[in-house]
Amino acid sequence: MTVVTAIETTGDLTANSVVSNEPVKGPVYINRIKGGVLGDGTNSAIAAILGSFPMSTFSQNNGVIQLTGVASRYVAYFIAGLLVLLGLFPVIGAFLQTMPKPVLGGATLVMFGTVAAAGIRILASAELGRRDLLIMAVSFGLGLGVTAVPEVASQLPPLLKSLFSSSITVAGLSAIFMSLFLPMGEQASVEKEAQNEAEPASGTV
């Protein structure tokens, strides 16, 4: 789950760069991804020490940025402070829970819709070859399959069942292993090496 959340963080930060009009290539983007994955890994390590699940970035935040047009990190500091207050004073959270569910549902629907639109926008701007399309198709298919037919993992041992009953884990692991073991075409390999040589070395975070 920690490995998969790191992959999710990379995708979320890429979408965040897109909706915030930040670059998605070059050293600025690479440093942004490095810092985000480092922060995500640190949070997951602290969560593991406290006996909790891995922490991950929220893709819904990208939907909020697209809806409001506000991408300043200083706003996030105030939101973090509010979350601390909600944790320390449950009465505040109880007050917010009185908000009608249709209102929350409508806002959530729009946010998730904008997240999906941002993902499609990223995929549309990427140069995808046959290998990339095959990896995407198999990963999407397995993830949706586990969601549609959850009993497919019911006969597995408890450890494997906890892993393969999650669509995120199945799709993430599928993409990882296929990327590692599926051979890359000669032309794509040459282009990738040329791109790596052309990109300047990025600094550390």
pLDDT computed for residue 16 by the predictor: 81
Q: Counting beta carbons within 10 angstroms of the beta carbon of residue 127, is it exposed (0 to 12), middle (13 to 18) or buried (19 or more)?
A: exposed
Model's pTM, two decimal places?
A: 0.60
pLDDT computed for residue 205 by the predictor: 43
pLDDT for residue 82 is more than 50: yes
**Where exactly are the structural domains of the chain?**
1-126, 128-197
Please enumerate in sequence order all residues whose Cβ is within 8 A of that of 164, keeping only pairs 6 or more positions apart, or say none: 146, 153, 156, 170
pLDDT computed for residue 186 by the predictor: 57
Please report, for the chain, how many H helices and E strands are present, in that order. 10, 0
Render pLDDT for 95-152 as a digit per residue (tens, 0 to 9). Answer: 777 777 787 777 777 777 777 777 777 777 777 788 888 888 888 888 888 888 877 7
How many residues would you count in the chain?
205
pLDDT computed for residue 191 by the predictor: 56
What is residue 20's DSSP assignment?
T
pLDDT computed for residue 197 by the predictor: 57
The mean per-residue pLDDT over the stretch 88-93 comes to 78
